[in-house]
Chain A
Amino acid sequence: MNCKEVVELSSPYLSRELAADCMAEIRKHLESCPACAGELDQLSEIDARVRDSLLAEPINTTVVDRRVRKNIAPPSRRWISVAASIAAAVVIAVTAYQVSSGSDRTCAAAASDHRVEVVDGERRTWLVDASAIGQLAEKQGIDSSAVRRLASEGFQLERGKLCRLNGRIFLHLVYSSGGGAVSVFLRPHDAAWAAGIRHAESGAEHVAYFDTAHVSAIVVTGQSSESATKLARFAQRVL
């Protein structure tokens, strides 16, 4: 091996990646050639200086590592949970608003009907026959016996007709007792309202409304909110 070949192979020789016999040949040449030996010593020294200098420089991988980990990480369960909670809250809020605003409007319409048609006596076409009212109830999907049961405990069924409250058809029944007339609005249960008896006030009318397994009901009276609640509890039991 001559000097030119040794210089050409200096890089793979320094990185010790030549075949064993080739490495041996170069070593043999270097022993007998001070010029080539000096050349390779100088290259080795340069390599060492570069390596020592650049490896000693501080490298901060924090930013890169954080960015990479953020990008390769699956969506965190915590954020999924937060997102689900937010979504659920929005659904609940929207539903509550719709139910609340819907029931408020329906109750206001019921109170208005009671005021105009029952208290003020504005002329309307009513059914007054209990049997005919029962048939009307059945047509609307309401058990006619429920209409009769409401007439117990001191209440007398006076009349009935269909009406539209907030876009929905209700059976408007008017019962009388010693304390005055009470309107009961019924429609087949559509699960639109929350459980339990709820209250509303509309002008001078007191409104209580509730759901059973079969019907949605609104009780309207001009007496007091306690009376409305008491009547609603009774109605809730018998419906």
Chain B
Amino acid sequence: MLKFSIKNAFRKKSTAILSSIGVGIGLMLVFVIGAFTAGVTAQFQENLSETIGIVEILEKDVLGRENSHLPINFTKDLYNTPNVGEDILKLTPETQAPFFYTSNYSGEDKLVNVQDTLTLIGINLTLDQIWGGPTTKILQGNIFNLEKNETIIDSRLLTVAQFPVSIGDNIKIKLDLGGTILVNLTIVGVYQEDDIGAPSFVPRQYYIYTDIQTLWNLLDKSGLETNTYSSIKLRFNVKTTQETEKYAEEINTYSESGGYAPVYVTATALSAFLESIGETFALFDAFAGIIGFIAVLAGGTAIIVTQLMSVTTRLKEFAILKSTGWKNRHIFTNVIIESLTLGILGAVIGLTLGSILVLFFSSGGSPFGGASAIITLPGVIEVVAYALGLGILGGLYPGIKAARVRPVVVLKGE
């Protein structure tokens, strides 16, 4: 029966193949969307797990890190914060140079998108080493020396920056701060940084690091207030965002009560921010699911139409089969196997095309710039399940129609 039905499915080869291609395209969309969702989710989960336990502190009511100013001794105040200080595992302060002036770096040189930013951050080397920051992730070269105008750069810049980024090159950043100054740093190392996984048109933030005193010295030249931190990150030994948020709330409450006066701060659990993004992802996921479902539905219609056409033109054949002892369920099963065959062929086409697309999109050379799409077993199972479901649903009505053939009516007049 199986061999007979499979062979029958391709009696009209071009129609059957076109129908399977239709299903395949629908399933391909489901597969690719699923792969992107899985990739983004995996990346997101990784980022989320990395940020659980981290609370970032900025000066209150300022716009952006570059405008935040926290005094040097503020780290000590944090250790004295009730219900917080004794639980701080480690902290790291940073000073960030304003980043909105870097989009048109050095004339014609630029990053991939004009919205991309290249931000210079000053870090305390000793604390960064304890924290496990970029200076602990050197891929090439060395860590910068203190007060030598040296920098380590984001590894992603090696492939995307359209300006010199080799070790030993000088990197020039135009600081447009009312007066323009040119920061001239020597690249001494490259630290590991993973891409966020989004398509290349999504703006990226690239960070290059130098020691905090070097940055202060550079900012001094612009007349900015220096010797302050832009932000301080605290790490707590917790496992959930909720626990992290509690520490942030303690700090905020203490700040509101004037505990750090004259300084007022805002503390944020970084993972809470990511979780809020996660909710947006869930919406995106649902939307993508609906698009995939519609695509599959369109593909499924192709099977129904093909099978219905096939069954309608073969009513006499079913009548003959009945006359030779085939039962209704045999004929129904035959039609279902035929449509399952078309669905499974569609799954093979969809998985093949989808895998090629996923590999292309996730490769660095694609226009999507190495989007994080991953092929997962559940993704493959989902496509196969869709194909089987479509096969059964697509064959259901034609199968019933075929099984209900009354030979005496169909063969009348013969």
Chain A partners chain B: no
Residues of A within 8 A of B (CB): none
Residues of B within 8 A of A (CB): none
